[in-house]
Structure 1
Amino acid sequence: MTLSPPLSLTRRSVLGSLAASLAGGPAFAQGDWPAGKLITWVVPYPPGGSTDVLGRNLALRVASSLGTNVIVDNKAGATGTIGAAFVAKAAPDGYTLLGTSIGPQAIAPHLMGKLPYDPIAGFEPVITIGTIPHILVVGAKQPFQSVADLLAAARAQPGKLAFASGGNGTILQMQGELLQQQSGVRFIHVPYKGDTPALQDTLAEQVQFMFAPAAAALPHVQSGKLRALAVTSAQRLKALPAVPTMGEAGLRDFVVEQWQAVFAPAKTPAPVVQRLNDEIGKALKDPAVLALADKLGVTLVGGTPRQLGDLQKADSAKWAKVIKDGNITAE
């Protein structure tokens, strides 16, 4: 004969479970997630960029390891903030992710006024995908042989030399602004609709210089069409061992790397965030992903959710100061 538990014990168990679910949100027992449900990986940029290409390759591997489907949804616009806002408003259940970069999460919020999301409080950091160093380049016919030469010319001609960027509010612009603030010189900022046209006009000598993503600039540097004056990474690049860092060129604390990362909506359960961190971390070690990242000029990172959160907060504070000190707006 099977004995039923006392009514009072049953009631206490039900009430305890109900209270726990109300207090802590959805309960995710081990094995309940992802349970075959579709996961959406939002990329807040158009298809074809490094964030999109790398995100799609990681999504395929995460789908395989989780035994579910992961689709990549490009929600481009407003410097990446449209896609970020979409994910911030999504259910915190682990089925909607944001594969993004430094712009929407640490720069744009300080330029664009009030956004429909909080870049820090609105998300759970999952993992850092990687970082992209930049190269300060000038056209081959420009007279500058070093950063010191460029700054000396700028001091001799205040507000005459121009630098290109991929647009207002981009990390490329921010580096030019940081250079002005650290050196005390003034340049003209020429924003373009994307990194490619900015690089084309730098090659054509229409502007004096730009901070270009390493992968985009390297072929032109190696062919002699561009001259590399410095790199923005903490260490010299293996591909350009003779080119100094900005620090070695005399600019202290000038380390700028464009990071890519994955975030989930705020209040996504910690076990789900950790599972995502584990699965994406494994995908980052895949030889094919490593080869792709090398081709894209991305140094893969990985790490913990907390490390990504610390990185985001530090960069947000850094660029907030640059933007405020330079009285920079999105227009």
Structure 2
Amino acid sequence: MSRLEITAPDGTPEVEPGDDLVAIVLLMTSLADGDVLVVTSKVVSKAEGRIRRGTREDALPGETARVVARRGETTIVRNHLGLTMAAAGIDNSNVPQGQIVLLPADPDDSARKLRDGIREHGGVNVAVIVSDTAGRAWREGQTDIAIGAAGLVVAEDYAGRTDAHGNELAVTLPAVADELAGAAELATGKLGGRPFAVVRGRADLVLPVGEHGRGAVSLVRPDGADLFGYGAREAVVRALRAAPADQRPFGAPAAPAELTTAVRDVVGLVPSHTGASDGALMVTCPRGLIRPLTALTFAYGWTVTSTDHPNELRLRPASV
């Protein structure tokens, strides 16, 4: 039998900049070796002085690494932590009007400090998760995820294992840190004033004292490795603009055969191989099709350059 127990205490005092979060946690919770402590990013940010006056719109440019998508008043960005979130994760709830709260500057470091402090002053070995709320592509609503973690196996790798029927698992990688954060949010709630949750029953995920693990940052895909680096509209606009600075989110250059098929299907041209070591292709392109061809090759991670022959263009991988 497997059992998971989640406790979120009531009565936590309002956290102010400079407050000793370790002392507050130890006062409000009853921790044991092997527990996972989930702390909302809001109280971590407050204790670390990440409160600012102004609006989310005022602070958004400074927290944005790049814009992913815009729809009306909603702006989805990749922030400086690598997280893709609405308004970069800037929050204006549970703070006085006219103030906002930024995410912790380094959530993994915040988790490590909390874990070390709890070990030093509480004498127990726990894992710590710093959680925040995020939406999901293709799904309505939001759930909590781990944006910081210490002392925790953040993902369980099942690749190479077999199921009960003898089937080998190839890419199964449960993001247990996110699952624990989401489970904890069921107990903390959004308006209950319960920023701490203690999850008991997964001591197998808690690392030994002194081992903080890979942190939640290891769950963030590198820019360009995600299949959805831009929103649908933004991808079209940026491909047509074809600015080199916009190319990374489209990912690594596609294989020549894949690009050849796309060029044939979209603009009706058939590139030929040059035999060059970089896999370059040549194509004869009427002047009116140069712009759509350039946008298409850009989206596939390639570039278009002219040659000495009229209407003949050279296509080559952008990263070569």
Higher relative contact order (CA 8 A, sep 6+): 1
Structure 1 length normalisation: TM-score? 0.21
Higher helix share: 1
